[in-house]
Amino acid sequence: MNIVIAPDSFKECLSASEVAKHISKGILKILPDATLTAIPISDGGEGLLESLVVPLQGTFHSVIVSDPLQRPINANYGILSDGTTAVIEMAKASGLELLQENEKNPLITSTYGTGELIKDALDKGCSKFIIGIGGSATNDAGTGMLQALGAKFLNLKGQQLTQGGGSLNQLSTIDLSEFDKRLESCEVIVACDVSNFLTGPNGASHVYGAQKGGSLEDLEFLDNNLKKLSTVISTMLHKDIDTIPGAGAAGGMGAGLLAFLNAKLVNGIALILETLQIEQYIKEADLVITGEGKIDKQTLHGKTIIGIAQLSKKHNVPVIVLTGKIGKGIEPIYKQGVTAIHSILNEPMDLPAALKNAAVLIESCTENVMRTMLSFRSK
């Protein structure tokens, strides 16, 4: 039996490659002669580096940069084998995973460290960037990143704003006189897994601000701050980025990249699937097993599962999805090509227990799925 294993990561728990490893173990317990092709996947958020750099024979580079609270950390990015294409996962420098629960605060968290990664890649001769912007801890619309690259966001007194989305209400003008000129000749592709606008009820602040530590009052304040930034950008740069789908991704990072780096926003999972030529493996498969930490109605909007399912449906290959949590509104997912969705939990348990035992649970769930499939094949 030819099986393609193409999961996303289980957030705060296992990387995509670790999930694939444990799915493989579960399969081989039941079908030791199965032919397995493991392809860890990312939709543009966490896991982008391992999804692209390793299979495309790139190299990893480690740099000391600023975390979301301006503390020094080691963060890595990749340079592909052409020597000029950098793969940057903003979560490595500006991600929510870098903060403790009591440290989350979108008023002060900054994307400055992501800008430092870009600058290091420029220094190494890169002129093309693939930037994954999922998993951010920030709501500053990429202004911190841009400050690291030489932009100045100034108040009425000509003073630079402090880091974070909470200071953007003081913005008066933007000084680009020292902005890195090398970026003018760069190609920037942004892997984005959401289609939110920058502001409004479905914008960056209102939809994602709470998970980054924002209170209800903070969310309205941050949304107004992003509107202020959008107005200044429109006035100074003559670019309307407020209602572009994806501009609200990663706390408005999409908007910052669009406005200042002339970036192209693309569907993250589509980019990964095309770059890695996943379809050629799926069309030869008897079964595809994929998965991610949570499945709900948001899964329909550009997530890994849907990209995999649509390709599999094209070639009439069944798709099994493994997940830690099944949310509401999943019924339309089946129409996209998913055959069945299985929760890996085998008994009631709290989140810490589920995270701790995820590897064993994935392996056991896969084993049970394969036993079921084998029983039908034997008839």
Give the pLDDT mean for 287-310: 85
Out of 63-67, 168-172, 299-303, 357-361, least confident range: 299-303
Model confidence at 276, pLDDT cuts 50, 70, 90, reads confident
Q: Which of 41-45, 75-79, 304-308, 329-333 has the highest mean pLDDT?
A: 75-79
Residue 184 pLDDT > 70 = yes
- pLDDT value of position 379: 53
Residue 97 buriedness (CB in 10 A; 0-12 / 13-18 / 19+): exposed
**Span 192-244, pLDDT tens digits:** 878 899 999 999 999 999 999 999 999 999 999 999 999 999 999 999 999 89
Interior CA angle at 90 toward 357 and 55, to 5°?
70
Domains of the chain: 2-41+278-377 (3.40.50.10350), 48-269 (3.90.1510.10)
Report the predicted TM-score, pTM, of the whole model to 2 decimal places: 0.85
Amino acid identity of residue 173, one-letter, is: T
Q: What is the rounded average pLDDT for all residues in the chain?
A: 93
- pLDDT value of position 47: 79
Helical packing angle, 358-377 and 16-30, nearest 10°: 40
Residue pair 129/103 in contact by the 8 Å Cβ criterion? no
Residue pair 345/324 in contact by the 8 Å Cβ criterion? yes
Supply the DSSP string of 129-189, one letter for each residue.
Answer: EEEE--SB---STTHHHHHHTT-EEE-TTSPBPPSSGGGGGG--EEE-TTS-GGGGG-EEE
Residue 312 pLDDT > 90 = yes
Alpha helices for the chain (secondary structure H): 16-30, 48-52, 91-94, 112-123, 143-148, 204-208, 216-237, 249-261, 268-275, 279-282, 304-314, 331-335, 351-356, 358-377
